[in-house]
Amino acid sequence: MDVYGLIGNPVGHSLSPPLHEAGYEALGLDARYVTFEPDADAAAAAITGAADLGVAGLNVT
C-alpha cells in the first residue's frame, strides 16, 4: 500500500483526505491519504520521519 499525505497545522478542516481516498478507490489503487499536524518546531523532523517511514509523497500547507 502506498501512503500519501497532507502536512501542516492546522489540517483538520481539509477536504484533501476524502477527495484523495475517493480518487484512489475509483482508480482501484491500493493507497491511503493521511494528515500530519506537527507543531511548527517539529515540521522538519515530521517530514524526515514521514520519508523514513516510506510515505510516498506529501502536500504541504
Q: Read off the CATH number of the domain in which 30 is found.
A: 3.40.50.10860
Dist. CA 38–CA 47, nearest whole Å: 9
Sign of CA pseudo-dihedral 24, 61, 10, 47: positive
Amino acid present at 29 = L
pTM of the model: 0.89
**HSE-CB for 35 with a 13 A CA cutoff:** 14
Taking only the tens place, the pLDDT of each residue in 3-55 is 999 999 999 999 999 999 999 999 999 999 999 999 999 999 999 999 999 99
Structural domain of 50: 2-60
Nearest to 34, CA basis, from 21, 12, 17:
17
Domain count for the chain: 1
Nearest to 57, CA basis, from 42, 29, 40, 28:
29
